[in-house]
Structure formats: C-alpha cells, structure tokens
Amino acid sequence: MYNFTYNLDGITYTETVSNDKEEFYDNHCHSCFELILIENGKVNTVIEGKSYSVSAPCVIALHPLYYHSLSPLKNCPYIRTTLMFQKESLPSEIADVFSASLKKQPIVNLPTVNAISKKISQILSDKEIDKYVPLLHAKSVELFYEIALSDE
C-alpha cells in the first residue's frame, strides 16, 4: 500500500494506492467531513447501515459522525484520494447546503464532480505540488460547490 498526505487550508488530502487483497476499513466515523474520491476499483460500502456498491470514478461524501465501512473488491487495484475537513473549510455561502446534500445522497457520480476529482488527484501526484497549491485550493472549492449543488 502507498499513502501520500498533504495539508492545505484545513483540508487533509491523502492519496492511497492499494493492491492488498485483504484490505478492509472497519465500521468507523470521523468528527469531520470526508470525501473519498474513488479513482480506480470497485468498493462495497455501508454508510449508516445502508449498503452501496460503487465503481470508479465516483465520490463517497460523508457527513461528520456518519458510521461507514469500505471493502474494496479484490479483482483490481484500489486507488483513492481522501479529503478530510471541518465545516469551517467550506465557503460559508454553501456550508449548510453542502452539509444537507451529504445527508440526502452520500454517493455522487456526476461528470463534473468526477472531472474535478481527477484534477485534484493529478495535482497531488505531481512531484512539484507546491507550485500548484492555488490550483489545488481552487479545485477543492469547485468540488465543494458541485457537490452542494448536485441535488438541486
């Protein structure tokens, strides 16, 4: 398994690449928002007792204190980028709408969201990431807006 973590403006980004056939993320929760950008692979997830099967590309968007587990399927590499952040990291204009949208639908699979997610992953993979910090911030804010507006 490979992990890379980067912190920016109250958001923790973690890129994970795994070929581990026994990988499983047991039922747990966080005190912050979590966006899991699935870039490759298929995942079975249980969120607040409801089961979902998702395939890349898509985003699993979790509200704080929502219990969830993840089990990547064993037939292909599992690649994801995770964003973890507090409500204060969201633009104040959309914070409440963003929060409400995650409660309605935790799986987001829209072309605009997937394109932004891919760009965030590309930035995090660049060896000279520091020169792309303004773009990383802008793409994260754009992602927040797209998710907030996804159910309108």
Q: What is the pLDDT of residues 4-27, one digit of tens each?
A: 899 999 999 999 888 765 567 889
The span from the CA of 48 to the CA of 53, in Å, is 14
Burial of 33 (0-12, 13-18, 19+ CB in 10 A): buried
Residues whose CB is less than 8 angstroms from the CB of residue 120 and which lie 6 or more positions away in sequence, other chains included: 13, 37, 81, 83, 136, 139, 140, 143
At residue 77, the pLDDT reads 84
Q: How far is CA 4 from CA 39, 80, 145, in A?
A: 15, 11, 25
In tens, the pLDDT along 135-146 reads 999 999 999 999
At residue 89, the pLDDT reads 96
CA angle 108, 150, 138 (to 5 degrees): 90
28: amino acid identity, one letter: H
- For the entire predicted model, the pTM comes to 0.93
Helix (H/G/I), strand (E/B), else coil: 85: strand
The span from the CA of 32 to the CA of 97, in Å, is 16
Residue numbers in the chain where pLDDT is lower than 70:
1, 20-23, 152
The span from the CA of 151 to the CA of 100, in Å, is 10
At residue 73, the pLDDT reads 82
Contact 66, 74 (CB under 8 A): no
Q: Where are the beta strands (DSSP E) in the chain?
A: 2-8, 11-18, 25-28, 33-40, 42-47, 50-55, 58-62, 68-72, 78-85, 107-108
Contact 82, 40 (CB under 8 A): no
At residue 21, the pLDDT reads 58
At residue 22, the pLDDT reads 59
The span from the CA of 55 to the CA of 58, in Å, is 7
